[in-house]
Structure 1
């Protein structure tokens, strides 16, 4: 059985006299002269088993490490659960025990939920404009404009109507993000080369496959969101889901899945390529600025959305109840 011995000592001593000290100061009683008070020189040494383990020196102050901190590191008690009394006094200290990956995921999910809620009115207007031809089949062939859709929502449903269908979208964020992050790591291993490197094509393929996987898993919530957003009256998410299952069957929850999966790959590819090209074209002195990254990401995402928007319109029309389109080939010319 081995015994561990920890020794600690601290001492205060004047600093050594530099070799280039002026002769005038050396003639005085104080090596540094009477006009200059001696500075405190702290030395702290901790030895385990007779061997020096830690040594910290500080001129003028003892801020960096205390004896208690060093002893805690030596004895291995650092990083354990804080005492109950300390937690009761500072309950937010529990957040320090949350792993960084979990904290980042929770922050991303919360930010996504807030962003979707803020932009929900614009998103509902977009859905009404995309599905107008299907909803008004046989009544009107003319599309609906942005201002007209905004006024129609406020007139028929009031302020709450602008956030109609937002709940399933917010609920969808957490599983969508979780599946996407997990599957992306899996697909990166699949597309990695034999030497362990991941090429640009490999990253694009892994990102596209991860996007398709997360879309497939959470697609029923996306259909529910559309049905709630475009139908008239006030219904709950559970009531709409039960009606869809009873009247249209399980397949109704996956209407328009084809164009959704097809649109993910070009969206990710265009977004990635445009972002990379724009990043390279920015002058070197502006590349490290956060506003540059924000503007580049915004422009690349906007360009990718414009390129893939027709597939999104087809998807929305195929998600509607009573849609005349059975396949993507029927919906593209009909839209």
Structure 2
């Protein structure tokens, strides 16, 4: 009898043990502590230092974000930036961002060009905020509302490929120069941004020249893009110049010089501000709650602050080169070098001549860069890249 009882107890014990083995894993998953440092399958010790993972909430100490953080990385998938899909989507996002940003500030852009190039009808308005308002009034009286967007068609034709190439190149160069966190340095960020700017401006500069010449024409009825392109090619508006494609690259070198600090500083400051806003100190108030793919996105105010500050500092760094470039683009002395033009500009009002219209530049560039980065990040968010 005792043997039968022992046998029965053993069978019950086996059944209980079997049930525990089947149920316990499920119960363990439900009761698992959220503070344990258990990494999702897509995150390993080898890729914890990846910049994309870091910017989405993974810190450099092999830990997940704090449990009180509103970031959610459960379904995060790391984006492969080397695929054609990513390149096309990032280029499209950059192009849309550029078009939106340029359309936002087109009226200010035209007035700034008129000031920079020394248009005789607008010389009396330069140098003050009151002059800016009077310039707005002048254009509205002479050409109406459409006068503020004179040359904007050429701007849009140029800006979509320009912005698209710039953002594509930056993403690829950043991925090349900074493959992981240990390579993250200020210099590498600056180099990535500068090379991205140089690549985009080299391919789209002729369109920029056409845009500036269109904006320089005082009366809208005289601004026709096809005859203007023919004039540039045939050099009929230049003295002692031969016709050819090289006429579309007048003022190109100061553009290249200016793009190095402009694009480099813009991307550097933008990324640096992202680091600050995504730090543990500000992450809870500055980072937008993540979607299913776990992608981190700054709140609107934080993204606009990052872009606005990037625009202000980049404009300050590159503005003298922009003045030289604009003057070379509209001068009839085609053989004038960058240095010679710089000397002529300096003779006007000294060092102040290199910063004519800078206040307008701030009013223009800060919202433009802020809008550009904001739309780009939103487009990446919508396109899941």
Class of the TM-score when normalised by the shorter of the 2 chains: 0.5 to 0.7
Correspondence for 1:121 among 77, 99, 107:
107
What is aligned with 2:326?
316
Q: How does 1:115-154 map to 2 (within 5 A)?
A: 115-132=101-118, 135-136=119-120, 144=126, 145-154=131-140
Instruction: Write the distance in 1 (CA, Å) between the matches of 2:276 and 2:191.
Output: 25
Displacement of 1:109 in angstroms is 2.3
> Closer, same or farther in 2 for the Cα pair 1:314/1:164, shift >3 Å?
same
Please tell me whether the aligned partners of residues 279 and 287 of structure 1 are also in contact (alpha carbons under 8 angstroms).
no
Instruction: Write the distance in 2 (CA, Å) between the matches of 1:209 and 1:257.
Output: 16
Please tell me whether the aligned partners of residues 286 and 292 of structure 1 are also in contact (alpha carbons under 8 angstroms).
no
Aligned residues: 235
Displacement of 1:212 in angstroms is 0.5
Q: CA RMSD in A?
A: 3.4
Displacement of 1:126 in angstroms is 0.7
Please tell me whether the aligned partners of residues 128 and 149 of structure 1 are also in contact (alpha carbons under 8 angstroms).
no
Displacement of 1:228 in angstroms is 0.5
Instruction: Write the distance in 2 (CA, Å) between the matches of 1:155 and 1:140.
Output: 14
What is aligned with 1:52?
none
Instruction: Write the distance in 2 (CA, Å) between the matches of 1:212 and 1:166.
Output: 22
Correspondence for 1:294 among 298, 304, 311:
304
SS of the counterpart of 1:303? helix
Say yes or no: does 1:170 pair with 2:156. Answer: yes
Displacement of 1:230 in angstroms is 0.8
Name the TM-score, length of structure 1 as normaliser: 0.60
Instruction: Write the distance in 2 (CA, Å) between the matches of 1:177 and 1:112.
Output: 5
Instruction: Write the distance in 2 (CA, Å) between the matches of 1:277 and 1:175.
Output: 26
Displacement of 1:281 in angstroms is 5.7
Instruction: Write the distance in 1 (CA, Å) between the matches of 2:134 and 2:249.
Output: 30
Displacement of 1:224 in angstroms is 0.2
Instruction: Write the distance in 1 (CA, Å) between the matches of 2:248 and 2:87.
Output: 32
What is aligned with 1:157?
143
Please tell me whether the aligned partners of residues 206 and 249 of structure 2 are also in contact (alpha carbons under 8 angstroms).
yes
Q: Deviations over 1:40-86 (max 9, x none)?
A: xxxxxxxxxxxxxxxxxxxxxxxxxxxxxxxxxxxxxxxxxxxxxxx
Please tell me whether the aligned partners of residues 129 and 149 of structure 1 are also in contact (alpha carbons under 8 angstroms).
no
Displacement of 1:325 in angstroms is 7.6
What is aligned with 1:266?
261
**Between Structure 1 and Structure 2, whose CA radius of gyration is higher?**
1
Question: What residue ranges of structure 1 are gaps of 5+ in the alignment?
Answer: 1-18, 20-98
> Closer, same or farther in 2 for the Cα pair 1:165/1:293, shift >3 Å?
same
Displacement of 1:287 in angstroms is 3.8
Name the TM-score, length of structure 2 as normaliser: 0.53
